[in-house]
Amino acid sequence: MSRIASPSVAFAAGSRSRRRGLALACSLIFCVLVLSAQVPARKHRGSLLQSWILSATAPVASVGSLLSRGASGAADSVEDLFHARSENTRLKQELAAKDRELFRLRAEASQAAREGRLAAGAAALPRVVVTAPVLLLESRAGLYSALIGAGSADGVRPGAPVAVPEGLVGRIVAVGRTVSRAQLLLDASAAVGARIVSTRELGVLRGSGRGDMRLNNVPTTSRVRPGDLIESAGIDGIYPRGVAIGRVAAVARGSNLFLEIRVTPSAAFSQLTDVLVLAPSPAGEAAIGGP
């Protein structure tokens, strides 16, 4: 009767056979490595083993190099971004500083130009007392007035005419120590004796309360034309003679013996920034109730 091997004995025999095969394979690999380490590579650049190792690790080294360059590039990009932002902030600050400086220089140039025009106007006007800034312009319900930054401490007196280089703008009606109020010629209750320069005819110029003026008491026989210059006549005892007031804008025949003449002021009332205060005439000062 034949003897049958048990499964455990067969498994142990298989394990010993696999171990011997693994040992043999390791021995062969070791021998190959030893031999390849001694066999020179092509062109005598190291051994064959070294060549194999370099060939096997070349992709890994390439990937590592790419990753290194990518990381370096990313770091450089981040650094460039922060540098660009910092530079942008610096340039914005410099631009803002230059804008402020330009604004200051423009303001100074504008102020110098205004002072130059006022000085030239003062030379052409009689008895200028002081140059004063306009603090406030008021326009409501036909009333036009200005608050100016000069008063009795500066020699301003009630009834004093107020002008700019372009022409007359009104007269002082109330005086404080450091500020005064002027009635403008646009006011519905303002009036000034006027003359048409081209025809030498006299009339009374009154404010319309709507931003322009009307020249009254000019007969229909007058040869006045649009564009003619109107100046102060010096017949009202308030304003000096020969100062420009405006120009004729339109002429129409009225319902009586006089023309209806609309006058556009020479001065830009809405843009008054500085004015010249003149010495008042005795009659003008008395009309306001001054001493």
The CATH number given to whatever domain includes residue 234 is 2.40.10.340
Asked if residue 80 is part of any domain, the answer here is no
Domain that includes residue 261, residue range: 128-288
Asked if residue 139 is part of any domain, the answer here is yes
Q: What is the total count of domains within the chain?
A: 1
Asked if residue 183 is part of any domain, the answer here is yes
Asked if residue 63 is part of any domain, the answer here is no
User: What crossing angle do the helices spanning 48-124 and 7-38 adopt, rounded to 10°?
Assistant: 70
pLDDT of residue 176: 95
d(CA 263, CA 194): 11
d(CA 105, CA 96): 14
pLDDT of residue 256: 80
Asked if residue 137 is part of any domain, the answer here is yes
pLDDT of residue 262: 96
d(CA 4, CA 226): 143
Angstrom CA distances, 242 to 81, 278, 291, stand at 70, 14, 27
Which stretches does DSSP call E strand in the chain? 128-140, 143-148, 161-164, 167-175, 180-184, 191-196, 202-207, 213-216, 229-232, 244-253, 259-265, 274-278
For the CA atoms of 54, 60, 66, 68, what is the dihedral angle to 10 degrees?
A: -100
- Token output for 55: 């060939």
- The contacts of residue 257 (CB under 8 Å, 6+ apart) are 219, 220
Asked if residue 226 is part of any domain, the answer here is yes
Asked if residue 70 is part of any domain, the answer here is no
Asked if residue 26 is part of any domain, the answer here is no
pLDDT in tens, the chain (291 residues): 445 555 565 556 666 677 777 766 676 666 655 555 555 555 555 555 566 565 666 676 666 667 767 666 677 777 778 788 888 888 888 888 888 887 777 776 766 776 677 777 677 788 899 999 999 999 988 899 999 999 999 999 999 999 999 999 999 999 999 999 999 999 999 999 999 999 999 999 999 999 899 999 999 999 999 999 999 999 999 999 999 999 999 999 877 889 999 999 999 999 999 999 999 887 655 555 544
What are the beta bridge partners of residue 53?
none
Number of H helices, E strands in the chain: 3, 12
Q: Are 195 and 202 in contact (CB under 8 A)?
A: yes
How many CB atoms are closer than 10 A to CB 208? 15
pLDDT of residue 263: 97
